[in-house]
Structure 1
Amino acid sequence: MIVDAPPAPADTPTRPRWARIGTALCWLTVAPTAAWAAVRLAGLDRGPLVQALAFTPYVAGWSVVALALTLALRRWWPAAVAALAAVALVGLVAPRALAAPQPAAAGPTVRLLTANLLAGAADARTLVELVRRHRVDVLTVQEFTPDAQAALDRLGLDRLLPHRQLNAQVGTPGSGLYSRWPITDAGIRQNRGGWGFSQAYGTLTVPGGPSVRVESAHPAAPYALDQVGAWRADLIAQPPATPDGGLRILAGDFNSTLDHSPLRALLRTGYVDAADATGEGLTGTWGPYDGDLIPPVTIDHVLVDHRIAVRTVRVLTLPATDHRPVLATLTLPTP
């Protein structure tokens, strides 16, 4: 009796096809994160990449998912590339969630608050209450208007912070610096790009401590491709730190994250990002707060001289603006 051999399993011919699909899926998942890591490491923030790089922390999180997928499917070459991309991106981003050692400063405490008022629309009563509740010593504001100035004074800001250097303007160019202590050598810096944002500045006389120059920073926003050049020029023009001279603080809306090379270059002159120094560097300050479907990103910063100790940073809530105020508690060095 002749017995025919059993037929081959019906799914045998399809196995290579599914293998190819799995490999292609892995590469499609890994390639964007690898390219992103290369762009970020090389500092290639040009053109549309400027806006994209603001979301690098989200891509860092996705890079871990991509690595897990390649390992689960046992695609070793994509896994190797995914591992390199994940190590690079997570290594760049994760330290922002870790507090760093601070200098042994033993001078007076300065509580500084910075807020973008969205063309003066931010709720003035809440802002004054924040100043009062947190005993703020210095306030920097951007997109500061004459109406906002009048509203803040009606609510008592002139009594809480009587010293000021203000440049209130209709729309978004205005800027202001308020202080509990006297301000000298005050002025207005005019940025050239974008909407022509201005920057109020002055030197504060802090009782029992060294004088410190504070500026309300607001370089141009890279909201369109034709504004990227102005954005870069305004950031390059920001006053550098003076590590061998007087203390400086830049506080405001930088329209940049720590993944943008011009901001990192500014930090290298001798500044420290206060949020990064206290492990709050991934807390968003701009994005969905006025209803837009935008993931939060960190573009509002307090940059301090490296000799100043950063004790705490808090991101607060201010209604009717697309930004969140940043409150930094600082200790100055002794004179």
Structure 2
Amino acid sequence: MVFRWIGTVLGAGALVAACLGLAVRYLPVTDHVMVILTSASPYLMLAAPVAVVLLALSRRWVPVVLAVVAMLVVVAVRIPLYTGPETRQAQTTPVRVMTANLGMGRADARATAATARDLADVLVVQEMTPEAQAGLSATGVDRDFPYRVVDPRDVASGIGVWSRHPIVESAPVDGYAMPMLEVRLRVPGVAFDPTVLAVHLAAPWPAPIDAWRRDVERLPATLRTLALDAGSGAVIVAGDLNATVDMLPFRRLLDNGYRDAAEQAGAGMSRTFPGQRRVPPPLLGIDHVLVRLSSASSLQRVPLPGSDHMGLVVGVDVPLNPTVS
């Protein structure tokens, strides 16, 4: 009898945790409490199968049914993150994009440049200080990626794009807490020049959340404008969005044909932060690549020694003759 009551209490607690993890995914992120809860959402949802087992052992059959329903909803929510690459278009060319938050310029320049040299065609960096830019240039990154638009700044505000493909247009994107860059690339064989948007949104924690809210609420309009300007050209958005897939404001970015590369490639949560140590491993996926009129066929995390983030390298299949969907 004692075991049954203990199992009931623990099972009910696990069911509440799982339901909370599901519920917060569909609520606005308005304060630090919601930042914490939405960040913890995937881990709270893991309590659903625990609830099923505990309540079944306690023979609480009505709560068991509720727990099973919660578990099925959790599965429906998480499975799309792991289902793998979709059918690729027949005529495409690969463009490998690496996004790297340099951790206020502290990332090891030689290691970052070596990873980009081996794996990327386009390198997008955030938190690039003047010293970090100089360090990257000293490694020969300017030779390996001969086209660049860089805006180094102190502390966390610098941003830059290096490319193996010619950059035919570039412009800053104003109105955000930190600088962003829009560049257009000339990729051989591609009829319409792809656009790359280098993004870094304000952090929602531990600073006041207001700047992040303004940034993430403004970004959908920027992405709509970008899509209109790009026309039939592919769009690739890369950087530190300081948001996870379980935050409603992030999923609102997936409109006008934009897709999350991690989901499209079946790469799961793609956790990149904090990235300093293997133990504990990164817990949050806040660095992202979004694609439009193109498709992500692969995604891998890469270490950035010295940074508090891991980097992402995404293989993007850019159609040779894309059409607006």
**TM-score of the two chains, using structure 2 as the length reference:** 0.89
SS of 1:131's partner is helix
Identity of aligned residues (%): 33
194, 199, 202: which one pairs with 2:183? 202
321, 325, 331: which one pairs with 2:307? 321
Structure 1 counterpart of 2:203: 221
Query: Is 1:236 aligned with 2:213?
Result: no
Alignment check: 8 A CA contact 2:182 2:197 kept: yes
The correspondence of residues 1-335 of structure 1 with structure 2, limited to 5 A, is 15=1, 19-40=4-25, 42-47=26-31, 48-134=33-119, 136-192=120-176, 196-209=177-190, 210-224=192-206, 226-227=208-209, 229-238=210-219, 239-240=222-223, 242=227, 245-289=232-276, 296-305=283-292, 307-335=293-321
CA deviation after TM superposition for structure 1 residue 264, in Å = 0.8
CA deviation after TM superposition for structure 1 residue 268, in Å = 2.0
SS of 2:238's partner is strand
Q: Which letter does structure 1 place at the counterpart of 2:298? A: T
Q: Which letter does structure 1 place at the counterpart of 2:195? A: R
SS of 1:313's partner is strand
CA RMSD of aligned residues (A): 2.1
Which whole-Å CA distance do the structure 1 matches of 2:80 and 2:127 have between them? 31
Which whole-Å CA distance do the structure 1 matches of 2:275 and 2:318 have between them? 34
Q: Which letter does structure 2 place at the counterpart of 1:315? A: R
Alignment check: 8 A CA contact 1:103 1:308 kept: no
Which whole-Å CA distance do the structure 1 matches of 2:247 and 2:79 have between them? 16
Structure with bigger gyration radius? 1
Q: Which letter does structure 2 place at the counterpart of 1:35? A: L
Evaluate the alpha carbon distance shift between residue 211 and residue 81 of structure 1 in structure 2; reply closer, same or farther with a 3 A threshold.
Answer: same
CA deviation after TM superposition for structure 1 residue 291, in Å = 8.2
**TM-score of the two chains, using structure 1 as the length reference:** 0.86
Q: Deviations over 1:264-304 (max 9, x none)?
A: 11112211111111111223111252589675111111101
Which whole-Å CA distance do the structure 1 matches of 2:8 and 2:136 have between them? 60
Evaluate the alpha carbon distance shift between residue 122 and residue 288 of structure 1 in structure 2; reply closer, same or farther with a 3 A threshold.
Answer: closer
User: Between Structure 1 and Structure 2, how many residues are aligned?
Assistant: 313
Q: Which letter does structure 2 place at the counterpart of 1:232? A: R
Structure 2 counterpart of 1:4: none
Which whole-Å CA distance do the structure 2 matches of 1:230 and 1:151 have between them? 30
Alignment check: 8 A CA contact 1:61 1:90 kept: no
Alignment check: 8 A CA contact 1:26 1:75 kept: no
Alignment check: 8 A CA contact 1:311 1:330 kept: yes
Which whole-Å CA distance do the structure 1 matches of 2:282 and 2:315 have between them? 27
Which whole-Å CA distance do the structure 2 matches of 1:21 and 1:108 have between them? 58
Which whole-Å CA distance do the structure 2 matches of 1:225 and 1:76 have between them? 45
Alignment check: 8 A CA contact 2:300 2:313 kept: yes
SS of 1:26's partner is helix
Alignment check: 8 A CA contact 1:105 1:309 kept: no
Q: Which letter does structure 1 place at the counterpart of 2:240? A: D
Give unpaired runs (5+ residues) of structure 1.
Answer: 1-14
Which whole-Å CA distance do the structure 2 matches of 1:18 and 1:92 have between them? 32
CA deviation after TM superposition for structure 1 residue 90, in Å = 2.5
CA deviation after TM superposition for structure 1 residue 201, in Å = 1.9
Evaluate the alpha carbon distance shift between residue 21 and residue 55 of structure 1 in structure 2; reply closer, same or farther with a 3 A threshold.
Answer: closer
Evaluate the alpha carbon distance shift between residue 51 and residue 25 of structure 1 in structure 2; reply closer, same or farther with a 3 A threshold.
Answer: closer
Evaluate the alpha carbon distance shift between residue 46 and residue 284 of structure 1 in structure 2; reply closer, same or farther with a 3 A threshold.
Answer: same
Evaluate the alpha carbon distance shift between residue 156 and residue 281 of structure 1 in structure 2; reply closer, same or farther with a 3 A threshold.
Answer: same
Alignment check: 8 A CA contact 1:168 1:174 kept: yes
Give unpaired runs (5+ residues) of structure 2.
Answer: none
Evaluate the alpha carbon distance shift between residue 295 and residue 69 of structure 1 in structure 2; reply closer, same or farther with a 3 A threshold.
Answer: farther
